[in-house]
């Protein structure tokens, strides 16, 4: 799906299974980062930036759906930094003693409707999709992952039956089915659609309450590379980190939007507010 590949020793792309749950981060040369699949384009950009600290290029990222990562961590998977596509999953890791104090929101994301480049369903807009959803084949994320909760919220808010034909464990799986033309449409993050380039066409979804979620970064309560992990967390929250996420198609995190005087409906920080579906949720 992505053309750019990190040249990082120890980098491993996880499947949707619980593979690697017993692996040890001691073998990695740099901090092990367990990241929601949707964070991959941003981390690749950050690692390729010559102006950021060496610890970024030395990180060993592993990608999967947030719920898969949480299950692995709870099963004993060691790590240094985790990026969760929802606040609720980060809170769960904190409550379980796996993540220390002070996780940070680093970016905001929202869904788009992706259709294959050849557009076999001849879908011209989201309204067109909504009118014909019963006759189209559609992929969405499973409800236990953040992108799936966003899809459920969209369905509820817009009073729309998505008629989903398949529910996937990660947004990457949904995008793969769309890119390969296995379905007529799929709900994916705007960042993943952008990373797919010409393989898909992204159609905007109408604005609605709870239509966004935030990417959260947290430090392991027992990091294998503590100094490097803290430095990496700082880089993720820095201007360079924010720029990498925005270049990958993310929107600023709520705090950054507030600093800019904007603010986004439905977004909230760690202590509550209106919140989003997935921030009560996964990738």
Same domain, 23 and 66: yes
Same domain, 103 and 220: yes
| pLDDT cut 90: percent of the chain above it | 65
Is the model's pLDDT at 42 over the cut of 50?
A: yes
pLDDT at res. 52: 83
pTM: 0.73
Mean pLDDT of 91-107: 95
Same domain, 97 and 156: no
Q: Are 133 and 165 in contact (CB under 8 A)?
A: no
pLDDT at res. 283: 55
Same domain, 195 and 115: yes
On whether residue 1 sits in a domain, the answer given is no
3-class state of residue 40 by DSSP: helix
On whether residue 33 sits in a domain, the answer given is yes
CATH code of the domain in which 62 resides: 3.40.190.10
CA dihedral sign, ordered 120, 124, 125, 127: negative
Q: Using pLDDT thresholds of 50, 70 and 90, give the confidence band for residue 274.
A: very low
Mean pLDDT of 36-50: 91
Name which residue leads in pLDDT, 16 or 249: 249
The domain of 60 spans 12-108+213-280
Mean pLDDT of 109-131: 97
Is the model's pLDDT at 272 over the cut of 90?
A: no
pLDDT digits (tens, 9 = 90+) for 226-248: 999 999 999 999 999 999 999 99
Domains: count for the chain: 2
Is the model's pLDDT at 152 over the cut of 50?
A: yes
Q: How far apart are CA 236 and CA 106, in angstroms?
A: 7
On whether residue 149 sits in a domain, the answer given is yes
Q: Using pLDDT thresholds of 50, 70 and 90, give the confidence band for residue 255.
A: low
On whether residue 2 sits in a domain, the answer given is no
Same domain, 120 and 192: yes
pLDDT at res. 170: 87
Task: Scan for tokens 């092990």, then name that residue.
Answer: 32
Q: Using pLDDT thresholds of 50, 70 and 90, give the confidence band for residue 125.
A: very high
Same domain, 35 and 52: yes
pLDDT at res. 22: 44
pLDDT at res. 55: 86
């Amino acid at each position: 799906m992505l053309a750019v590949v990190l040249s990082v020793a120890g980098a491993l792309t996880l499947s949707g299974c619980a593979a690697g749950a017993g692996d040890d981060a001691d073998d990695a040369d740099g901090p092990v980062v367990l990241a929601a699949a949707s964070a991959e384009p941003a981390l690749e950009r950050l690692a390729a930036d010559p102006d950021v600290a060496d610890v970024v290029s030395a990180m060993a990222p592993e990608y999967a759906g947030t719920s898969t990562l949480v299950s692995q961590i709870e099963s004993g998977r060691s790590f240094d930094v985790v990026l969760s596509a929802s606040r609720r999953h980060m809170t769960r890791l904190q409550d379980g003693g796996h993540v220390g104090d002070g996780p940070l929101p680093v970016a905001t994301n929202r869904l788009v409707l992706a259709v294959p480049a050849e557009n076999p369903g001849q879908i011209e807009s989201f309204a067109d999709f909504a009118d014909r959803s019963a006759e189209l084949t559609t992929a969405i994320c499973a409800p236990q992952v953040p992108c799936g909760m966003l899809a459920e919220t969209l369905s509820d808010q817009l009073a729309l039956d998505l008629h989903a034909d398949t529910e996937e464990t990660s947004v990457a799986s949904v995008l793969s089915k769309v890119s390969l033309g296995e379905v007529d449409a799929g709900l994916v993050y705007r960042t993943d659609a952008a990373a797919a380039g010409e393989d898909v066409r992204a159609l905007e979804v109408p604005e609605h309450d709870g239509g966004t979620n935030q990417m959260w970064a947290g430090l392991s309560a027992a990091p294998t590379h503590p100094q490097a992990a803290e430095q990496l967390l700082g880089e993720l929250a820095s201007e360079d980190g924010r720029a990498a996420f925005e270049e990958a198609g993310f929107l600023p995190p709520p705090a950054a939007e507030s600093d800019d005087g904007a603010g986004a409906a439905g977004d909230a920080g760690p202590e509550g507010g209106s919140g989003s579906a997935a921030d009560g949720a996964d990738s």
